[in-house]
Amino acid sequence: MKRILTTAVAAAFLATLVAPPAPAAATAPPACARPTGPPPAPAPPTTVETLGQAYFCVLANYYGGPGLRTQDLLKDAFAAYTVNLQRRGADVAGLQLPALTGDRAADWAAAAGALGEGDPVALRAAIDGMVAGLRDNHAHHEVPAPPEEEGPVGTGIVGASGISGPGLDPAARPPFFLTEVIKGSPADKAGVRPGDIVRAIDGVPVWVGDTLNPLLLTQVQQASFTITLQRPTTGKVRTVRLKVGPLTRPERTLAVKDVSGARYVRLPGFYRGAADEVIAALRGGPKKVVLDLRGNGGGSPDEVVRLLGAFAHGKITSYFCRYDGSCTANRTDDTVPLLGAELVVLTDRRCASACEDFSAAVHDHAIAPIVGTRTAGAVSGPAGPWLLNDGSVLLLPSVRHLGPSKQIVDTVGVPADHHAPMTALDLATGRDPALRKALSLLAG
C-alpha cells in the first residue's frame, strides 16, 4: 500500500550523458557502469542500445548470470515489449522473436535486428520485463525520480496486513486491514485509522476468492481513489475518496520506552548508524529488552553485524555466496561491547532483507526468542547499482544470501518461535499480543 514516498535509488548518477546514435543491430553496446554523479536532466530516450546494455549487464553482474539462458532473458524482454505495444495500440506487423542459439552475442544481434530502431516506451517496458523474469526480490530496474522540490506527497497509508517485504503477501488471508497511517496525511484527515478493514478500492473487491487482488497495488498508485473501509470495533462500513496530498516525511528514528520493567525499542530500518542508536538507547537501561523489528524493510548488512555484536560474539551471522559455490562468512562485530541484556525480538511479514539477516542469526544461534510471525522471505542478497545510457539504473545482487547454517532464508523467511499475529481489532483497540507475549517471556 505504499504510494507515499518516492523510493530514492541508493546511489548517485553520472553528471552528463549524451544519447548515442542508434547503433547497427550487431554492434555490442557499451557496458553498464557504476553511477558516479547526479542523474542526467533531461533523461535521454531509451534505445535498443539501452536494452542491449541491460541484457549484457545482467549476464555480467547478476549473481546467477553465468547460468542464465539468453533465450529466457530475451523472451521475457520481447514479451514485455510486445505487450506494451499492444496495450497502446501500437503493435508492429512482422515483429517476432527470432530463433536463438544460446550464443550471447549472436542472440543479441538477432534480437536487435528484429527490433530495428525500437519504441522508447516499449523498450523501457522490455527492460522491466527482463529484470522481472529473474524472479529476484532484490533485482530492480529503476528510473531516478526528480528531486522533491515541495516535499513528499501521497495519501498517507503506509502499511497493510497483506504486505510481505516489497509486495503482496502470498500467505495473506482475510481480512486485509491497514496497519499504519501517517499523522496529518490526507488519509488521517479523512478519519482512516490503523485496523480499518479494506473491503474494496474503486469498487473492486480486495479479495479474489482467498487471494489478494493483484491489481491492488496498481489501484492505489493513482492520484485519487475511493476506498471502502469497515471499522472493526463497530462494524460500520463507509467509502472515502482519498487524494494525494503533501505529507510530513516520517522520521526514521527509534521509538524507545520502558514498559513492565523492560526497555522497548522499535527499529524502523537498518539505516546508517542504526546499530549505534539502538546500543546507546539500551546502555544503562533495564537488562530486559524487546527489539521490535515489525515493518523493518532492511538496510545495511554492516549495521546488522554491528548490532548483533552487542548481544553475542564470535558468531557467523550469514554467508554471501557466489554462483560457483564459494562463500564469504559474515561475523558479529566483536569490537562492540556486550550489553549483557536478555532479548526478545518481534517480527512480522514486513520484516525483510537486512531485517531477516538479523532475525536468522538471532534464531539460529538462539540469541533470543522471536515473537510475532514469519518474516517476509525477501533477502536474496545485497544489490549494487548499474547505470544505463538512458539514466535508468539496474539494481543487481552479485551474491546470494544464506543464513548462518547456510540455509535458504530468501522466499522462506525466518519462523517465529512464538506465533502472535496482530489483528485488525488489536490495532483498532491498541492491543499488542506480540509485545504482551514478549514481556511475559522476559518476566518468566
Average pLDDT over residues 337-359: 97
Distance (Å, whole) CA 439 – CA 316: 28
- Using the predicted structure, report yes or no on whether residue 209 has a pLDDT greater than 60: yes
**Where do you find CATH 2.30.42.10 in the chain?**
153-246
**Where do you find CATH 3.90.226.10 in the chain?**
255-382+398-436
- Cβ burial, residue 231 (10 Å; 0-12/13-18/19+): middle
Give 393's pLDDT tier (boundaries 50, 70, 90). Answer: very high
pLDDT in tens, 70-126: 999 999 999 999 999 999 999 999 999 999 999 999 999 999 999 999 999 999 999
DSSP-assigned letter for residue 65: G
| Lookup result for grid cell 505495444 | 85
Q: What percent of the chain has pLDDT over 90?
A: 80
The pLDDT score that the predictor gives to residue 170 is: 87
- Using the predicted structure, report yes or no on whether residue 41 has a pLDDT greater than 80: no
Residues 232 and 425: beta-carbon distance below 8 Å: yes
Q: Provide CATH code, domain 153-246.
A: 2.30.42.10
Whether the upstream peptide bond of residue 186 has omega within 30° of 0, thus cis, is no
- Using the predicted structure, report yes or no on whether residue 148 has a pLDDT greater than 60: no
Return phi, psi of residue 67, to 5°: -105, 5
Q: What percent of the chain has pLDDT over 70?
A: 93
The pLDDT score that the predictor gives to residue 120 is: 97
pLDDT in tens, 2-39: 333 333 333 333 222 333 333 344 578 999 999 998 87
How many other CB atoms are found less than 10 A from the CB of residue 327? 15
The pLDDT score that the predictor gives to residue 150 is: 65
Fold of 255-382+398-436: 2-enoyl-CoA Hydratase; Chain A, domain 1 (3.90.226)
